[in-house]
């Protein structure tokens, strides 16, 4: 018999048990992370944060379009999650880059103040008229 004919175990039972224990700990940590991510309160918090972020982004873009000043969106891209992180559907992050257009011309400011005044007077007149009826 040559030495290649004999088979020796590659790992001792203690090493196998240690590997099993490591895998079980890692599995338990993964389950805990999934449980934390799947809690309704945490999901709601993430979704509210995303809605606020999207809303503020839309407001910035609308302001830039309406006023002709403010910021202009240059680029939007998805950010890949960190390796090993747990991603729930819809958890992508969008990074948007803006560039300032500069100051508003005085005519635009006067126009915006005028429109705001007309709207405020109209709302007050409507409220007074409604109260009289």
Count structural domains, the chain. Answer: 2
pTM of the model: 0.36
Residue 29 lies in a domain: yes
When pLDDT is averaged across residues 23-30 and rounded to a whole number, the result is 93
Residue 90 to residues 35, 52, 97, 103: CA-CA distances in angstroms? Answer: 17, 15, 21, 37
| Together in a domain, 130 and 76 | no
Judge whether 60 and 71 are in contact, CB under 8 Å: yes
| Together in a domain, 113 and 87 | no
| Together in a domain, 119 and 62 | no
| Together in a domain, 89 and 120 | no
pLDDT in tens, 42-101: 888 888 888 888 778 777 777 666 665 555 666 777 777 666 666 666 666 666 666 665
Element (H, E) at 42: helix 40-67
Element (H, E) at 24: helix 13-38
| Together in a domain, 98 and 111 | no
Residue 5 lies in a domain: no
């Amino acid at each position: 018999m040559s030495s290649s004919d004999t088979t020796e175990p590659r790992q001792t039972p203690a090493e196998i048990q240690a590997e099993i224990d490591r895998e079980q700990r890692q599995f338990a940590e993964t389950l805990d992370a999934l449980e934390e991510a799947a809690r309704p309160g945490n999901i709601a918090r993430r979704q509210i944060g995303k809605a606020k972020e999207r809303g503020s982004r839309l407001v910035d873009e609308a302001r830039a379009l309406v006023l002709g000043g403010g910021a202009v969106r240059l680029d939007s891209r998805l950010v890949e999650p960190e390796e090993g992180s747990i991603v729930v559907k819809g958890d992508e992050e969008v990074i948007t880059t803006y560039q300032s257009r500069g100051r508003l011309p005085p005519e635009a400011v006067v126009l915006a103040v005028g429109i705001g005044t007309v709207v405020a007077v109209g709302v007050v007149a409507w409220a007074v008229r409604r109260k009289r009826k």
